[in-house]
Amino acid sequence: MGFKILAINPGSTSTKVALFDNDTQQLDLTLRHTAEQIAAFPNVIDQLQWRKDMILKALAEQGFDVRQLSAVIGRGGLVKPIEAGVYEVNEAMKHDLTNATMEHASNLGGLIAEQIASQVGVKAYIADPVVVDEMTEMARYSGLPECPRRSIFHALNQKATARLHCDKIGKRYEDMNLVVAHMGGGISVSAHCKGRVIDTNNALDGDGPFAPERAGTIPAGELVELCFSGKYTKRDLKKMLAGKGGLVAHLGSNSVMHLIERVEAGDKQAGVVIDAMSYNISKAIGAMAAAMSGSVDAIILTGGIAYNEPVVKYIEEHCSFIAPIAVYPGENEMEALMLNALVVLKGTITPKVYA
C-alpha cells in the first residue's frame, strides 16, 4: 500500500474530491452545489465548515477512513503573489486565505485541506495557486502607475499540462518556450519561457480574452462611464467583470457546448460571439509569442473549452503559423495536485514556506 493522498478542488458550483494511492486514483467525486445552497452563505469563506463536512460525509459513504491519509492537498487560493511550487499550509497562509482581498472558492482549498489533515495528524499543502507570479518587470507595467498588471491565472493546470506535453515529446519543461491557453470559465494565456511564466493575463477580473463568465479586457473609457452612470453598485460591476460577463452577458449562457448547439440550430448571433471569443484568444496567443520574441516551441490549448472543435479550429487557423499546436482538453488539476503532494511525501522536493 502506498501513500494515500486526498486532493480537494473547490469551485463556484462544486467541490471536486479525489483519493489516490500513490499515483493510482481510487475515488473521483464531484459534490454539486445548487445556486440556492451557495446563496445561503453571505461570503465564500462562510462555506468552509459546510464544504468540509460534505467531503467527510462523502468519503465515509464510500467506506474510506480518513485516518489512512498520508497528506491532504488543496487547490491554492488568492494569497499574496508567490513563486510556483508546493507550499505547506501554515498559520500565515491560513490568515491570508481567510482574509483574502478577492472572493473565490479556491480560497477554501487550503483551509479545508488543513482542517482535515490536522484532524488525522498529517500535513496539508497547496500547489501552484492562481496567484503564482513569475512575471518580468516589463510585463507589470500598464499605462497608469496606480494600475499595475497582475499575475492571476490557471497556474496549476497550465504548469501541469505544459510538463505533460514536454514529457510526451521527450523535452524538459525548463528548456522550452511555450504559449499555454487555459480555456474554461475564465481564460488565461501565458508565456512559459524556460520553466517560468514571464507574462500572463489577469484571468479573474479584467484582463485578456473575454470568457464564458468573465469580461476580460474592456474599453477603459466605456468602463468609467458605466461606473459613474448611477445604474450599478460596485458589487454589480465586479460581478459583471467576473461571473456575469463574457458569454453570459452576450448570450445568457456559460456553456460553450450548449452555445455551439445553438449555432448549429441556426443562431447566428451565438456564432458571431463564439468566434469573437476565439479571435480574442488568438490575439492573446500572438501577444504571448511576441513576449518571447517569436521563439515558441509549441502552443498548448487546454481546459474544458478545448473539447469544442469549432473553437480549436478557429485558433488553429489563426495561430498555427506561430508554432505547432497541441490540444489537451479538460483540466488535469486533480492529478497535478496529487503529483505535487507525492513528490513531497517521497522526499523528492522540500515544500516551500509561505511567509
Mean pLDDT of all residues in the chain? 95
**What is the distance between the alpha carbons of residues 13 and 33, in angstroms, rounded to a whole number?**
5
Considering the domain architecture, whether residues 120 and 149 belong to the same structural domain is answered as no
Q: What is the mean pLDDT of residues 212-225?
A: 96
Contacts of 288 (CB under 8 A, 6+ apart): 179, 189, 190, 191, 199, 200
Question: In the chain, what percentage of residues exceed pLDDT 90?
Answer: 93
**What is the distance between the alpha carbons of residues 184 and 302, in angstroms, rounded to a whole number?**
8
Considering the domain architecture, whether residues 124 and 215 belong to the same structural domain is answered as no
- pLDDT at position 101, please? 85
Considering the domain architecture, whether residues 148 and 68 belong to the same structural domain is answered as no
- pLDDT at position 11, please? 85
Question: In the chain, what percentage of residues exceed pLDDT 70?
Answer: 100
Considering the domain architecture, whether residues 119 and 252 belong to the same structural domain is answered as no
Q: Which among 280, 287, 339 is positioned nearest to 311, based on CA atoms? A: 280
Q: What is the mean pLDDT of residues 248-277?
A: 96
Considering the domain architecture, whether residues 317 and 253 belong to the same structural domain is answered as yes
- Please report, for residues 20, 96, 350, the alpha-carbon distance to residue 81 in angstroms, rounded to integers and kept in the order given: 29, 11, 20
- State residue 193 phi and psi, 5-degree precision: -110, 105
Q: What is the mean pLDDT of residues 60-65?
A: 97
For residue 50, tell me if it sits in a domain: yes
Considering the domain architecture, whether residues 105 and 179 belong to the same structural domain is answered as no
Considering the domain architecture, whether residues 52 and 100 belong to the same structural domain is answered as yes
Determine the distance from the C-alpha atom of residue 75 to the mean position of all C-alpha atoms in its chain, rounded to a whole number.
9
- pLDDT at position 243, please? 86
For residue 238, tell me if it sits in a domain: yes
- Confidence label for 17 from pLDDT (cuts 50, 70 and 90): very high
For residue 353, tell me if it sits in a domain: no
- pLDDT at position 251, please? 97
Considering the domain architecture, whether residues 88 and 185 belong to the same structural domain is answered as no
- Confidence label for 204 from pLDDT (cuts 50, 70 and 90): confident
CATH number at residue 211: 3.30.420.40
- 297-333 residue pLDDT tens: 999 999 999 999 999 999 999 999 999 999 999 988 8
- Confidence label for 53 from pLDDT (cuts 50, 70 and 90): very high
Give the chain's end-to-end CA distance (angstroms, integer). 35
For residue 207, tell me if it sits in a domain: yes
Q: Is the pLDDT of residue 1 over 80?
A: no
Range of the domain at 32: 4-131+333-345
Considering the domain architecture, whether residues 82 and 229 belong to the same structural domain is answered as no
Q: Which among 75, 73, 57 is positioned nearest to 19, based on CA atoms? A: 73
For residue 92, tell me if it sits in a domain: yes
Determine the distance from the C-alpha atom of residue 76 to the mean position of all C-alpha atoms in its chain, rounded to a whole number.
9
- 113-166 residue pLDDT tens: 999 999 999 999 999 999 999 999 999 999 999 999 999 999 999 999 999 999
- Confidence label for 35 from pLDDT (cuts 50, 70 and 90): confident
- 326-353 residue pLDDT tens: 999 998 889 999 999 999 999 999 999 9
For residue 251, tell me if it sits in a domain: yes
Considering the domain architecture, whether residues 237 and 309 belong to the same structural domain is answered as yes
Q: What is the mean pLDDT of residues 22-45?
A: 92
**Cβ atoms within 10 Å, residue 341:** 27
Is the Cα dihedral 237, 243, 245, 248 positive or negative? negative
Domain count, the chain: 2
Pairing of strands 14-21, 4-10: antiparallel
For residue 160, tell me if it sits in a domain: yes
For residue 355, tell me if it sits in a domain: no
- State residue 10 phi and psi, 5-degree precision: -80, 130
Considering the domain architecture, whether residues 264 and 339 belong to the same structural domain is answered as no
Q: Which among 103, 105, 48, 50 is positioned nearest to 76, based on CA atoms? A: 105
Considering the domain architecture, whether residues 146 and 53 belong to the same structural domain is answered as no
Query: Which residue did the predictor score with more confidence, 64 or 242?
Result: 64
- 75-100 residue pLDDT tens: 999 999 999 999 999 999 999 999 99
